[in-house]
Amino acid sequence: MARPWRGVIEEYREWLPFDDDVKAQTLGEGGTPLVHSAWLSQVVRGDVYVKVEGQNPTGSFKDRGMTTAISAAVAQGAKAVVCASTGNTSASMTAYAARAGLTPIVLVPHGRIAAGKMAQAVMHGADIIQVRGNFDDCLDLSRGLAKEYPVALVNSVNPIRIEGQKTASFEIADVLGQAPDLHVLPVGNAGNITAYWKGFVEYEAAGVTTSRPRIWGFQAAGAAPIVLGRVVPEPDTVATAIRIGNPASWTFAENARDESGGRIDMVQDEQILAAQRELGAREGIFVEPASATGVAGLLAAAAAGEIEPGLTITVTVTGHGLKDIDTAMAHRGDLVDAVIDVDVDAAAETAGLR
Ligand SMILES: *Cc1c(COP(=O)(O)O)cnc(C)c1O
């Protein structure tokens, strides 16, 4: 009989830097679906699978690194935890802190946080502090707090976050029975691209897989410091989760790109929103804008003839669409297509059934 999924620490403990006596603070994160996409497979003339990270407990991949970060913080005796966040890190941190009985301190940029993510932090009982500045300023502030006060920093500059997040690569390889040829994902603060690469490298080094994928990361054009090769002081994109101008894991991301023979490129907001819509309408997968960035990049690369046929490709979609319904609906004009009386014929007529 199948056993229930135990969360990423218990599923992959031997791959994580935890002693056996460290208790897992878990909400059952990980074990997310790897969904085959007939649409994308046809577009690239290969096999494309979508790793649906919005299925995690708080609706984004951040939970993978938060279970490890909060478990470590508890083991080290922390009483409070702090993070800077564009939204999802705080949604995740506050949930895990609530379970672990830690006091969560959230620093978010003034305005510009998706309402769903704020609602999560509020419901998990956090103190939310809005900072007159952008994400990068919030991260500086968090580091300062953690340095001078007894609070643990749980941003992805904390290496234990990367350890948890690398389990997504393990899951992909475990399901496929091998590493993909190519893995595609969005890049913001660049922790996740760092983590995926680490996971794929570790599996190959241990002989679980016999190859590693090329890694393709995509940034939003208005927040593409790695692509441009310089800090972007005022990053701007509809994809708020990757609205970051000075990624903390910048050099690790370049390393993943170069060692894997991959690339880091950028896509326009319109491409991101189009990919988000198509994923929802064609595949039944509703993601937040940032999460569609990898798919947008894959589509652009396919259109440019940059993908050789026959590849097995995995694409991470990072967070759930319900977190940011304002953006999803803002570009939709009238939401209701028709209003009719209670009448079967009228309904059939309007729906185009006759
Ligand atoms: C955090 C986040 C990203 C960016 O991940 P990084 O590790 O910062 O590069 C992308 N999409 C969503 C939904 C996120 O929450």
Q: Which residues pair with 97 in a beta bridge?
A: none
Residue 91: Cβ-neighbour burial (10 angstroms; 0-12, 13-18, 19+): buried
Say yes or no: CB of residue 290 within 6 Å of ligand 1.
yes
In ligand 1, the atom with minimum distance to the C-alpha of 53 is 13
Query: Is the C-beta atom of 59 inside 6 A of ligand 1?
Result: no
Is residue 209 helix, strand or coil?
Answer: coil
Instruction: State how far the Cα of 260 lies from the Cα of 23, in Å rounded to an integer.
Output: 34
Question: Which pLDDT belongs to residue 156?
Answer: 82
Q: Which of 61, 161, 184 to mutate to test the pocket of ligand 1 (most atoms within 8 A of CB)?
A: 61
Separation of alpha carbons 46 and 40, rounded Å = 8
DSSP 55: G
Residue 352, token pair as written in the block: 């185009």
Ligand 1 binding pocket includes 288 (Cβ within 6 Å): yes
Is the CB–ligand 1 distance for residue 116 below 6 Å? Answer: no
**Would you say the CB of residue 225 lies under 6 angstroms from ligand 1?**
no
Q: Is the CB of 161 under 6 A from ligand 1?
A: no
- Which of 257, 234, 229 is CA-nearest to residue 245? 234
Q: What is the pTM of this model?
A: 0.95
What sign does the CA torsion over 293, 294, 298, 299 have?
Answer: negative
Residues 6+ apart with CB under 8 A from 129: 105, 106, 107, 108
Q: Is 60 in the pocket of ligand 1 (CB under 6 A)?
A: yes
CA distances from 155 to 152, 252, 303 (A): 9, 15, 36
Q: Kindly state the tokens that stand for 284.
A: 């039944």
* Segments of the chain scoring below 50 in pLDDT: none
Pocket test of ligand 1: the residue of 32, 53, 88 to mutate, having most ligand atoms within 8 Å of its CB, is 88
Q: How many helices (H) and strands (E) does the chain have?
A: 15, 10
Q: 184: which strand partners?
A: 216, 315
Q: Contact, 79 vs 150, CB < 8 A? A: yes
- Mutation probe of ligand 1 site: the residue of 242, 279, 285 with most atoms within 8 A of C-beta: 242
Longest dimension (CA), the chain: 70
- Nearest ligand 1 atom to the CA of 239 is 11
Measuring CA to CA, which residue among 314, 17, 11 is closest to residue 169?
314
Residue 188, ligand 1, Cβ within 6 A = yes
Specify the pLDDT at position 62.
Answer: 98
CA atoms of 148 and 9, how far apart (whole Å): 30
